[in-house]
C-alpha cells in the first residue's frame, strides 16, 4: 500500500512552479486527489498564525514549499521582506502543525543557506554552519536555515517529525518567466535570448563576468520534476533530523549555460557582459550521496534535455498569454 493512501496532505505553494509537479507526483504515488489540498495565497496569508491554524487542521502530512523567492536582483531589492516573509511563514506553519497533531512536516530549504565559502566542493550537509551565506541572498538563506533549527528543536522537545530538504537551483516549465523582477538565471536568459531573436537585437546583455577570482562561476541545476520526485520520496521514506541535499550532481559553468541557451534558442547576435552586476555565489554544487542512501533518489533528467524542454514550454506559453 502507498505511504500516501488515505492521508490528508497539505502542500503550501501548491499552485506554483514546484507545487504543481509535486501534487501530480503525490497522486501518481497513491495519494487521492481529493485528499491533497493547496491553500490559495489570495485567501490564506501564511505569515499569520490564524491562517496557518486553519489550513493545517485535519492534515496528516504538511509539505511546506511556499515562499517569497527570486533571483539576485530580487534578493538585493527586498532583503527585509524575504527574511520576514519566509521566517514568519515557516515558524507559524510548523507551530500550527505541531499543535494540530500533524504526523509529519516536510520543510523545503534552499542551497542559499550554505556559506559563501564552504570548506569543499561539492557542499556536504555538515558544511551548513561553517560560515555566513553569500551576502546578496543571505536574508533569504538565513530565514530558511532557521527552519532547520526549529525542526530539530521541535523534534527534541516535542517528538515532532520535521524533516529538512536542501534543493539546489531548480528550473523547468512554469518558472518565473513572466515576472522578470523575480527571475532566476535560466528563465531570465531564455526570455532574453528568445526576445532578442524575435526582435533581431544585435546584442544581448547578461549580468556579471562569469568569473570569481579567476575561477568560472558555476551552478548546479535540478529539473523541477526530479525535485518533486525527491520530495515525495523523502515524505515517504525519511524520518531523521539531519538535512538532506537534493541535487543533480552536475556543476554547470554560467558561461557554458549562456552558450547553451544562446544556441538552443537560435539567437545569433552578440553577448555583452554587464560587469557592474554581481555574479552571486562563486560555485554551487551539492554532494547528493545522502539523498541516494536515505531516499533512493538519483536525478533522472539530463541537463540539456531539461533545458530544451524548458525552452520549448516558454516558446509555447508566451504565445498563449
User: How far is residue 14 CA from its own chain's centroid?
Assistant: 13
CA angle 303, 307, 312 (to 5 degrees): 150
Q: Strand (E) positions, the chain?
A: 9-12, 36-37, 61-64, 104-108, 162-167, 169-171, 203-207, 211-212, 215-216, 218-223, 244-246, 251-253, 270-274
**How far is residue 321's CA from residue 61's CA, in Å, rounded to a whole number?**
35
Spot the catalytic one: 114, 140, 171, 238.
140
C-alpha cell at 260: 547553451
Residue keyed to cell 550521496? 289
The residues, any chain, with a CB within 8 Å of residue 157's CB and separated by 6 or more, are: none
140 is catalytic: yes
CA dist list (Å): 164 to 277, 283, 311: 32, 22, 31
| Catalytic residue set | 140
Amino acid at each position: 500500500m502507498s505511504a500516501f493512501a488515505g492521508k490528508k496532505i497539505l502542500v503550501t505553494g501548491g499552485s506554483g512552479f514546484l507545487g504543481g509537479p509535486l501534487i501530480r507526483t503525490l497522486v501518481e504515488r497513491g495519494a487521492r486527489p481529493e485528499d491533497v489540498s493547496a491553500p490559495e495565497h489570495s485567501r490564506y496569508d501564511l505569515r499569520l498564525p490564524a491562517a496557518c491554524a486553519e489550513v493545517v487542521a485535519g492534515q496528516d502530512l504538511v509539505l511546506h514549499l511556499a515562499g517569497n523567492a527570486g533571483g539576485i536582483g530580487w534578493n538585493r531589492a527586498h532583503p527585509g521582506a524575504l527574511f520576514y516573509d519566509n521566517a514568519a511563514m515557516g515558524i507559524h506553519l510548523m507551530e500550527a502543525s505541531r499543535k494540530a497533531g500533524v504526523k509529519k512536516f516536510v520543510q523545503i530549504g534552499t542551497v542559499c543557506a550554505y556559506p559563501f565559502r564552504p570548506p569543499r566542493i561539492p557542499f556536504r550537509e555538515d558544511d551548513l554552519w561553517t560560515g555566513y551565506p553569500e551576502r546578496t541572498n543571505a536574508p533569504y538563506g538565513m530565514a530558511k536555515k532557521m527552519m532547520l533549527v526549529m525542526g530539530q528543536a521541535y523534534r527534541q522537545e516535542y517528538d515532532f517529525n520535521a524533516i529538512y530538504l536542501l534543493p539546489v537551483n531548480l528550473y523547468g516549465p512554469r518558472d518565473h518567466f513572466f515576472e522578470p523582477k523575480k527571475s532566476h538565471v535560466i528563465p531570465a536568459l531564455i526570455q532574453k535570448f528568445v526576445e532578442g531573436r524575435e526582435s533581431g537585437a544585435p546584442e544581448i546583455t547578461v549580468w556579471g563576468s562569469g568569473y570569481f577570482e579567476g575561477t568560472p562561476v558555476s551552478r548546479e541545476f535540478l529539473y523541477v520534476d526530479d525535485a518533486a520526485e525527491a520530495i515525495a520520496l523523502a515524505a515517504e521514506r525519511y524520518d531523521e533530523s539531519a538535512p538532506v541535499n537534493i541535487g543533480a550532481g552536475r556543476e554547470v559553468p554560467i558561461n557554458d549555460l549562456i552558450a547553451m541557451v544562446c544556441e538552443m534558442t537560435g539567437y545569433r547576435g552578440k553577448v555583452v557582459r554587464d560587469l557592474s552586476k554581481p555574479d552571486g555565489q562563486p560555485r554551487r554544487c551539492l554532494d547528493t550521496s545522502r539523498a541516494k542512501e536515505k531516499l533512493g533518489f538519483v536525478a533522472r533528467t539530463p541537463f540539456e534535455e531539461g533545458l530544451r524542454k524548458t525552452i520549448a514550454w516558454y516558446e509555447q506559453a508566451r504565445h498563449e498569454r
